[in-house]
Amino acid sequence: MIRVTGSGIHDGVHRHPLGAIRAYDRWLRDEFVAMNTVLEEHYFTRRADILPGHEDVRASLLRDGASLIAAITTLPDDPAERYALLGAVGYHAAACARHETGEPADLAPEWSLLRRLGTSLGVAPRYTFAHQALYNPAAGDAFWTFTSIPDERVFITRNGQAVLAYQRAAAALRRVPAMGVSNPVATYLLEDAVAALGDVLRFNRALAAELDPDRFYYCLRPYFKTHRVGRVEYRGTNAGDFAAINELDLLLGLCDPADPFYQEILAEKEPFLPPGDAATIQSAVRTEPLLSRFLREAADGVTPVLAENARLYLAACRAHGAAYAFHHGRLVTPFLVAKAPTAETDGVTASGPPLEAVVGMLARLSDLRAGRKKDGTAWEGLERLRELVG
Ligand code: HEM
């Protein structure tokens, strides 16, 4: 449940200023899940995005959630609790958008709360993947979900594990520059980064094996879509809204912060990052990439530790490229592209542009991360280092 420790909790839930949050949290874990599941099973029988029917369920989902949210007037002091609350309220807003229920007048109080939370934290006023995976407090083995369809739990668990593995790799690599690339202590960090990026691939493989493509496409994806908060449309959520993957791109030297294509990737995701994440990208942008450090030092002679660390660095690059190639070929393609009615389809992806454009953007990222022999990739520098260290 949402922890409301900031101001102390009394037993009488409704008497406590934060009791309204607890009441909403309880509903979100129970009736909300049951109602979404009824609607999803109904749509799924016809493999439809949405169908008429169960109007009473749709009305209750809107009314009960909106009235519990309207009672939330006191916010937790702790920013992490406030961020979790933004996600919890955002779940209801996204579900109403998914089931196409609720007029602006019905949703105005909750949009106002979302804005208040978003502004206080400096983030977009909607739920994002970080809310699903990282700020989602479990109680009795269960975290917040939209439905009780097992694939949703698989999706969040495996994606969340992959994000943690990326974060572990980035945490290791960000310490290398201070030690220098020929430092034997840094060897351990590079080994850790290689192992963590191997875990990313492992979790992604498990996701591809355990997730049913139809369930993903028809019952989960629609909750991730773009929706309004007030008069502004906020783009949908995706598992990429965390900084560590970009920190890795920059630290490894596979992506260039001066490349306009990559600059847009960074700028676009910033409002959707959890608090604190943007600072790690800012720091990585200011750091000399490991590739250029290795090349600079190797030009003066390849010493044994430098050679060992460079081989580990190259292994980390290979693992990063392999994990992302898997994302492209074994997740995006079968779970999204193969299911979408036409390549021009709008509204299928999180960020809104036609699917074809999004897939092109992801393919370019895949080329950069794998250091393929193409214009503007790090291929040349990687090749030089491979020659130097054998
Ligand atoms: C069924 C599984 C998945 C599908 C269908 C999928 C699909 C997509 C799509 C379509 C986008 C582009 C979003 C947009 O701009 O509209 C995206 C972005 C992204 N996804 Fe996934 N994804 C899946 C799982 C994962 C997993 C497990 C990870 C690992 C953490 C991941 C990491 C990313 C990242 C980092 C981005 C942002 C772009 C980038 O910097 O690469 N995705 N994904």
What would the pLDDT profile of 303-335 be if each residue is shown by its tens digit? 999 999 999 999 999 999 999 999 999 999 999
Per-residue pLDDT tens over the stretch 94-132 = 999 999 999 999 999 999 999 999 999 999 999 999 999
Tell me the CATH number for domain 19-127.
1.20.58.600
> What's the pLDDT score for residue 5?
47
pLDDT (tens digit, 9 = 90+) per residue, 131-166?
Answer: 999 999 999 999 999 999 999 999 999 999 999 999
Q: Check if 349 has its Cβ closer than 6 Å to any atom of ligand 1.
A: yes
Beta strands in the chain (DSSP E): 227-229, 232-234
pLDDT digits (tens, 9 = 90+) for 29-60: 999 999 999 999 999 999 999 999 999 999 99
- Return the H-helix or E-strand segment holding 82: helix 79-98
How does pLDDT run across 75-102, given as a tens digit for each residue? 999 999 999 999 999 999 999 999 999 9
**Mean of pLDDT values over 330-352:** 80
Answer yes or no: same fold for 19-127 and 150-389: yes
CA–centroid distance, 179 to ligand 1, in Å, is 33
Q: What is the chain's length?
A: 390
Q: Is 350 in the pocket of ligand 1 (CB under 6 A)?
A: yes
Q: Decide: 162 in ligand 1 pocket, CB within 6 A.
A: yes
The alpha carbon of 239 and the centre of ligand 1 are apart by a number of angstroms equal to 5
pLDDT confidence tier of residue 64, bands split at 50, 70 and 90: very high
What's the CA-to-centroid distance between 368 and ligand 1, angstroms?
Answer: 15
pLDDT exceeds cutoff 60 at 9: no
CA angle 185, 186, 188 (to 5 degrees): 80
- Higher-pLDDT residue of 334, 8: 334
Atom of ligand 1 at shortest range from CA of 242:
35
**Residue 169's pLDDT is what?**
98
**CB contact burial 121-149 (16+ within 10 A = b; e otherwise):** bebbbbbbbbbbbbbbeeeeeebbbbbeb
Reply yes or no on whether the pLDDT at 13 is more than 50.
Answer: no
CB 47 within 8 A of CB 217: no
Q: Which atom of ligand 1 is nearest to the CA of 246?
A: 40
Question: What is the number of the ligand 1 atom nearest to the C-alpha of 235?
Answer: 16
- Tell me, using a 6 A CB cutoff, whether residue 336 lines ligand 1: yes
| Residue 132, ligand 1, Cβ within 6 A | no
Which ligand 1 atom lies nearest to the CA of residue 166? 30
Q: Residue 332: CB within 6 Å of ligand 1?
A: yes
- Domain ranges for the chain, please list them: 19-127, 150-389
Euclidean distance between CA atoms 307 and 379, whole angstroms: 19
| CA 294 to centroid of ligand 1, rounded, Å | 30
Give the model's confidence band at 343: pLDDT under 50 very low, under 70 low, under 90 confident, else very high.
low
CATH 1.20.58.480 fits 150-389, yes or no: yes
Q: Whose CA is nearest to atom 7 of ligand 1?
A: 332
How far lies 76's CA from each of 4, 23, 156, 254, 272, in Å?
A: 6, 15, 25, 41, 21
pLDDT in tens, 235-293: 999 999 999 999 999 999 999 999 999 999 999 999 999 999 999 999 999 999 999 99
Q: Which residue's CA is the closest to the ligand 1 atom numbered 1?
A: 331
What is the CA(267)–ligand 1 centre distance, in A?
Answer: 17
C-alpha neighbours within 13 Å on the C-beta side of residue 27:
20
Q: How far apart are CA 73 and CA 70, in angstroms?
A: 7
Does 346 score more than 70 pLDDT?
A: no
Query: How would residue 340 be classed by pLDDT, with cut points 50, 70 and 90?
Result: confident
204 lines ligand 1 (CB under 6 A): yes
Nearest ligand 1 atom to alpha carbon 332: 5
Out of 182-191, 341-350, 351-360, least confident range: 341-350
Closest ligand 1 atom to residue 159 Cα is: 27
What does the block give as tokens for 362? 């992801």
Tell how far the Cα of 298 is from the centroid of ligand 1, in angstroms. Answer: 36
Give distance in angstroms: CA of 288 to centre of ligand 1: 27
